[in-house]
Amino acid sequence: MTPGELIAALLAGAWRPEPPPLPPAVVADPAAALGSAVSDVLLSTGAGPLTWWRMRNTSLRDHPAVVPFQVAYRSAALQSLLHGAALEALLAQFAEQDVRPLLVKGWGAARVYPEAGLRPYDDFDFYVLPEQRPAAKAVVESFRHPAGVAIELHEDYNFPFDIALEALFGAGCTLSCGRGQVLVPAPEHHLRLLCLHMLYHGGWRPLWLSDLGAFVEAHPHLDPARILTGNQPADSWVAGALLLARDLLGARLSAELAGALPAVAPTWLGPALTRQWASAIGSSAQPSLVRTLCRSWPNLGDMSEAIRLRWQNPLEASLEVGAPFDEADRFPVQVRAALYRLARRTTGRR
């Protein structure tokens, strides 16, 4: 098995209260299966706690190769408590200013896991209606908390998220958070957003695909018509993300949701994602290519590596140029995406 395939095998069903048995390859030789090519990716991308959860009740729980995952689990559990307290305090300050933001991704994704600490997150991502943005910005700028969590107040609601902001707010659900309340998207809207966010960044964090598996199993009565909205090519992207969760991680899709998806994913999709996982970081997380090339000059080896790291994988490139997920060759799509990005940098467009 490749490192990417091993990562998929380790995370398959790991979000469940009682995860499935470990893959035979891991049990037979844990030191090899959990070598640096796999463990470094799992730990550096936030999947360490979930890996420990998968192994905690197995014969490998005390193996030296598993210890770093237990350490990550304990650290994330503490971080989850601190972040929960910070969010409660932040929501109280928003309420004092009559601001009602919409919280997406991190906290909302973590809450569908058996323990919130299994899904670490670094910040709070909020959307705010235009008329409330000045007050929301003032709250964020003045907020201080010992947890030191970052706050992302998104003023733009752009591609690839294709549900109108007003519709997201109108269909949102109110959840309890300590002594306060927080608005989150309707489950179908949130799932679509999680799918598109993962793909927009090339899916380089395996935890993002685990989020989809945990989410669909925590919400078994999702309405497929609210997830697949008839907007192409975005529907093909969302369907592809859900098929990846099913095929790579064994996510249990409801009969209704499975029936709304294609029977099989494009043949390039799964291998492209597992190859990306093996590299531990995606092109969207890299610093500016122009600055890096200037710093690397005249070392051609460093310059070549800089370009390689910023070459978009087929998932990310497809979204960049609006190409549907189908069986068409992805290399021309990747070339178009590279030219498109170069044109944007040259003209100063975003």
Same domain, 291 and 157: no
pLDDT at 8: 97
Share above pLDDT 90 across residues of the chain, in percent, rounded to a whole number: 75
pLDDT at 286: 56
- Do residues 66 and 160 make contact, with C-beta atoms less than 8 angstroms apart? no
Same domain, 118 and 143: yes
Of 230, 250, 281, the position where a domain reaches its end is: 281
Same domain, 198 and 318: no
Give dist(CA 171, CA 166) in Å, integer.
9
CB atoms within 10 A of CB 251: 23
Same domain, 13 and 158: yes
Same domain, 75 and 125: yes
Using pLDDT thresholds of 50, 70 and 90, give the confidence band for residue 148: confident
Closest by CA position to 97, among listed 65, 66, 135, 124: 135
Residue type, 346: T
Q: What is the pLDDT of residues 313-326, one digit of tens each?
A: 999 999 999 999 99
Of 255, 281, 307, the position where a domain reaches its end is: 281
**β-bridge mates for residue 126, sequence order:** 103, 153
Same domain, 298 and 237: no
272-294 average pLDDT score: 71
117-132 average pLDDT score: 93
Phi, psi of 223 (to 5 degrees): -90, 110
Q: What is the pLDDT of residues 230-247, one digit of tens each?
A: 999 999 999 999 999 999
Question: Is the pLDDT reported for residue 292 higher than 70?
Answer: no
Same domain, 262 and 322: no
Check which CATH number belongs to the domain holding 45 and give it: 3.30.460.40
Question: Is the pLDDT reported for residue 306 higher than 70?
Answer: no
Using pLDDT thresholds of 50, 70 and 90, give the confidence band for residue 229: very high
- Put simply, whether the predicted model's pTM sits higher than 0.85 gets the answer yes
Same domain, 311 and 277: no
- Do residues 228 and 239 make contact, with C-beta atoms less than 8 angstroms apart? yes
Cβ-proximal residues to 283 (8 Å cutoff; 6+ apart), any chain: 202, 309, 310, 311, 312, 313, 316
Same domain, 23 and 137: yes
Please tell me which residue, 133 or 157, carries the higher pLDDT value.
133
Question: Is the pLDDT reported for residue 329 higher than 80?
Answer: yes
147-157 average pLDDT score: 81
- Do residues 41 and 3 make contact, with C-beta atoms less than 8 angstroms apart? yes
Of 262, 281, 300, the position where a domain reaches its end is: 281
Give dist(CA 139, CA 160) in Å, integer.
28
- Do residues 316 and 201 make contact, with C-beta atoms less than 8 angstroms apart? yes
pLDDT at 164: 86
pLDDT at 284: 58
Q: What is the mean pLDDT of the chain?
A: 90
Question: Is the pLDDT reported for residue 339 higher than 70?
Answer: yes
Q: Determine the structural domain holding residue 53 and report its residue range.
A: 1-281
Question: Is the pLDDT reported for residue 311 higher than 90?
Answer: no
Same domain, 296 and 218: no
- H, E, C per residue of the chain: CCHHHHHHHHHCCCCCCCCCCCCHHHHHCHHHHCCHHHHHHHHHCCCHHHHHHHHCCCCCCCCHHHHHHHHHHHHHHHHHHHHHHHHHHHHHHHHHCCCCCEEECHHHHHCCCCCHHHCCCCEEEEECCHHHHHHHHHHHHHCCCCCCCEEEEECCCCCCCCCCHHHHHHCCEEEEECCEEEEECCHHHHHHHHHHHHHHCCCCCHHHHHHHHHHHHHCCCCCHHHHCCCCCCHHHHHHHHHHHHHHHHCCCCCHHHHHHCCCCCCCCHHHHHHHHHHHCCCHHHCCCHHHHHHHHCCCHHHHHHHHHHCCCCHHHHHHHHCCCCCCCCCHHHHHHHHHHHHHHHHHCCC
Same domain, 272 and 320: no
23-47 average pLDDT score: 92
Same domain, 297 and 195: no
Give dist(CA 265, CA 244) in Å, integer.
7
Give dist(CA 137, CA 94) in Å, integer.
10
- Do residues 30 and 51 make contact, with C-beta atoms less than 8 angstroms apart? no
Give dist(CA 315, CA 319) in Å, integer.
7
Residues 46, 52, 58: CA angle, nearest 5 degrees: 160
Question: Is the pLDDT reported for residue 348 higher than 70?
Answer: no
Q: How many domains is the chain partitioned into structurally?
A: 2
Question: Is the pLDDT reported for residue 113 higher than 90?
Answer: yes
pLDDT at 291: 58
Q: What is the pLDDT of residues 156-215, one digit of tens each?
A: 766 667 888 888 999 999 999 988 899 999 999 999 999 999 999 999 999 999 999 999
